């Protein structure tokens, strides 16, 4: 069996050792954070101390931290909760303005509201690098400002790694007193994420994308933002997210957030260096390989430092993925939530990339366990995998 090299950190990143230790330690302690006895108060203290740590790492107030099960729940609460609240206040507020390259955790709630709740949606287009233009957001709002319920744009794209101008878009939305939401699931841990400075009203994140536990995340929500909750019950988390709090997971998330903030610059440099070596090596191999999104060497402003997205002509991404996996390289063709769906990426199509090219996509994402050996192993395995995948496509006639 070949040695395994994990290059799919955008799907999930291994938990940090200190996170594992914190979760294990807290899991051995009984106590519901809503109980009033000694054990309950101790659990509540862990939750509130964790809330303060997370707030300090993300530039927000502790009261703005709403614990959830992860990015998908946070996105759903932000989008549906805002839409229902705004429409209840003003029946004209039925329009959503959303970027065309969002994760399905945003796209699917939007489509649900369109299909069942009377919403309409205007899509923010992107250029060939996957970047949105704030001026287009202004144009979309100005068509009928009084009808807009929410503007939503991700901080950084999960497939091609493009970083969006979220602060500029937030400023445009606020000119018209429209709330702005950003899915920052891929950004936290790789980019400086400051909630207050960004101007966002709502921000989603997920712990397992930056060394935290699976199954715990946060929706940052400004105190003046009003939302209709998705769930009702005990009224926890400002009555926005009922349910018994996952105290071990929350403690682990706080440890991961603190680590991410303290080590951000070193993390950026490490990941950027490895990313640029992957890109240089892949382009040097030839075979017509191209890079999606902005890819200036040393850039940690326009592209996530840990993201590499390649397009390999004349082959199917799934075939390439399986061949690489057989060689011990674990990567993906795009979002893990869409794995196995035989359709070209909506992100690549929105960037103007033809379907024929979009089908040959390969995404490699780096994280805290990534090494030079991982990069070398991938570059060693890539030429043979590409040749076999291209031959297979020709043999089946799929390349015609």
Query: In the structure, what pLDDT confidence band is assigned to residue 394 with cuts at 50, 70 and 90?
Result: low
pLDDT at 343: 78
* 337: annotated active-site residue: yes
CATH 3.90.1150.10 placement within the chain: 5-13+263-396
Count the neighbouring beta carbons within 10 Å of the beta carbon of residue 278.
23
List residues bridging with 151 in a β-sheet. Answer: 97, 180
Angstrom distance (rounded) from CA 346 to CA 318:
16
Residues β-bridged to residue 132: 126
* pTM of the model as a whole: 0.95
Integer Cα distance of 146 and 360 in angstroms: 43
Name the average pLDDT for the chain: 95
What was the pLDDT predicted at 399? 44
CATH of 5-13+263-396, one of 3.90.1150.10, 3.90.226.30, 3.40.50.300, 3.40.50.620: 3.90.1150.10
Local confidence band at 81 (pLDDT 50, 70, 90 cut-offs): very high
Query: Which H helix or E strand runs over 4?
Result: none
For 37, counting Cβ atoms within 10 Å of its Cβ (0-12 exposed, 13-18 middle, 19+ buried), the class is exposed
Domain with CATH 3.40.640.10 in the chain: 17-261
Q: Which member of 60, 257, 331, 337 is catalytic?
A: 337
- Given a cut of 90, is residue 391 above it in pLDDT? no
Of 93-107, 316-330, 382-396, the poorest mean pLDDT is in 382-396
Mean pLDDT value of segment 351-360 = 92
State in words which class domain 17-261 has: alpha beta
CA angle 94, 172, 160 (to 5 degrees): 85
Q: Given pLDDT bands bounded at 50, 70 and 90, which one contains residue 287? A: confident
Mean pLDDT of 172-179: 98
50 pLDDT exceeds 60? yes
The DSSP code sequence of 193-258 is --HHHHT-SEEEEEGGGTT--TT-EEEEE-TT-----S--SS-HHHHTS-S---HHHHHHHHHHHH
Question: Could you tell me the pLDDT band of residue 400, with boundaries at 50, 70 and 90?
Answer: very low
Give residue-wise pLDDT tens across range 205-238.
999 999 999 999 999 999 999 999 999 999 999 9
In terms of pLDDT, which residue wins out, 113 or 398?
113
What is the Cα–Cα distance from 179 to 200, expressed in whole angstroms? 8
What pLDDT shows up at residue 72? Answer: 98
Tell me the per-residue pLDDT of 252-265, one tens digit each, with 9 for 90 and over.
Answer: 999 999 999 999 99
**307, pLDDT greater than 50:** yes
Strands 217-221 and 202-206: antiparallel
């Amino acid at each position: 069996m070949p040695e395994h090299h994990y290059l799919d950190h955008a799907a999930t990143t291994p938990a940090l050792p200190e996170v594992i230790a914190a979760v294990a330690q807290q899991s051995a302690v009984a106590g519901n954070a809503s109980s009033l006895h000694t054990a309950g108060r101790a659990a509540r203290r862990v939750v509130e101390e964790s809330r303060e740590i997370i707030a300090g790492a993300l530039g927000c107030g502790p009261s703005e931290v709403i614990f959830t099960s992860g990015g998908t729940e946070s996105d759903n609460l932000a989008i549906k909760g805002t839409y229902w609240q705004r429409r209840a206040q003003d029946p004209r507020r039925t329009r959503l303005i959303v970027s065309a390259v969002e994760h399905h955790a945003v796209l699917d709630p939007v489509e649900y509201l369109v299909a069942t709740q009377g919403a309409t949606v205007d899509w923010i287009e992107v250029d060939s690098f996957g970047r949105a233009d704030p001026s287009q957001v202004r144009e979309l709002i100005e068509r009928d400002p009084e009808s807009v319920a929410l503007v939503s744009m991700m901080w950084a794209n999960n497939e091609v790694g493009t970083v969006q101008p979220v602060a500029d878009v937030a400023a445009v939305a606020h000119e018209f007193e429209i709330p702005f939401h950003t899915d920052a699931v891929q950004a936290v841990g790789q980019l400086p994420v400051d909630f207050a400075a960004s101007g966002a009203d709502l921000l989603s994140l997920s712990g397992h994308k930056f060394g935290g536990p699976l199954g715990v995340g946060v929706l940052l929500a400004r105190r003046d933002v009003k939302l209709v909750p998705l769930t009702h019950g005990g009224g926890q988390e400002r009555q926005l997210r009922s349910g018994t709090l996952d105290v071990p997971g929350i403690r682990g998330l706080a440890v991961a957030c603190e680590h991410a903030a303290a080590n951000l610059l070193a993390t950026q440099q490490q990941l950027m260096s490895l990313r640029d070596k992957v890109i240089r090596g892949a382009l040097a191999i030839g075979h017509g390989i191209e890079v999606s999104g902005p890819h200036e060497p040393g850039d940690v402003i326009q592209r996530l430092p840990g993201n590499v997205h390649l397009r390999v002509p004349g082959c199917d991404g799934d075939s390439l993925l399986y061949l690489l996996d057989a060689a011990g390289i674990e990567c993906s063709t795009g979002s893990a939530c869409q794995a196995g769906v035989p359709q070209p990426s909506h992100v690549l199509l929105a960037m103007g990339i033809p379907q024929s090219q979009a089908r040959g996509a390969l995404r490699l994402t780096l994280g805290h366990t990534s090494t030079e050996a991982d990069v070398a192993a991938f570059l060693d395995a890539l030429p043979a995998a590409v040749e076999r995948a291209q031959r297979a496509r020709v043999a089946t006639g799929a390349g015609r």
